[in-house]
Amino acid sequence: MTEFLDFLKHKFAYVAIGEFKPNKFEEAQQLYEKAVSTYRHGFKGAYLLREPGTDKGIAIIFWESREDMEANEHNEVYETILKEMAHLFTKAPTTSFYELCSEIHQDQEQE
């Protein structure tokens, strides 16, 4: 029964869409990777996407639950890194929280 209940659980994704000041994307990327490395319980993976030829990006961070995400955001190291990153944005990024409804992997398509 536990396996069935686990199957019904959905992961969650935190999504941030923003633009960095000219030539600041690489610095922001390093800070993003540093911040993500502080995540522990419930963290399922992260992606940083960049629109080619621009300083626009999308960060997607996957979590087991919203509570896990919130618990991981409240640590000193993480908050310090976010403060370091804030001045790199042209304006505050747009953020949202989503429920993951469908997940398809290459190896699943071939079965």
Q: Which residue has the higher pLDDT, 91 or 107?
A: 91
Average pLDDT, whole number, for the chain?
88
How confident is the model over 63-96, as pLDDT tens digits?
999 899 888 877 888 889 989 999 999 999 999 9
State the architecture of 15-100 in CATH terms: 2-Layer Sandwich (3.30)
Average the pLDDT over 19-33 and give the result: 96
Q: Do residues 62 and 13 lie in contact, with contact meaning Cβ atoms separated by under 8 Å?
A: yes
pLDDT of residue 32: 95
26 secondary structure, DSSP code? H
Amino acid at 98: Y
Strands (E), 1-111: 12-19, 43-50, 56-63, 94-99
Q: What is the pTM of this model?
A: 0.82
Sketch the domain layout of the chain as residue ranges: 15-100
Among candidates 105, 37, 106, 107, which has minimal Cα distance to 72? 37
Give the Cα separation of 27 and 16 in Å (integer): 17
